[in-house]
Amino acid sequence: MSKERELIKELIEVLGHVRVDNEMALSGDWNKSDDGFECEQALVDAVLVKAEEYDKNLFDEAMKESRKYMEEMTKEEEEDDE
């Protein structure tokens, strides 16, 4: 399997795990301690490191967009709280 396909496969697997856990948390079925979140963070970090090594420019561009999105979401939440 090519390095690109391997990375995409890992990204899909990690996103799948995070999605299931998010659904559980939102439905109230979350029964994991903070260790569960720490494990997810470790999975995400490991794949992000591989993605950065694979294509630094694409990684930087995507992370910039991610930070921009999070800033917009935080701003909207703050406005809603007012």
Alpha helices in the chain (DSSP H): 3-27, 34-54, 56-81
Greater model confidence, 23 or 36: 23
Helix axes 34-54, 3-27, angle to 10 degrees: 150
What band does 62 get if pLDDT is binned at 50, 70 and 90?
A: very high
Greater model confidence, 31 or 52: 52
Residue 32 has pLDDT above 80, yes or no: no
pLDDT at 65: 93
Query: Model's pTM, two decimal places?
Result: 0.69
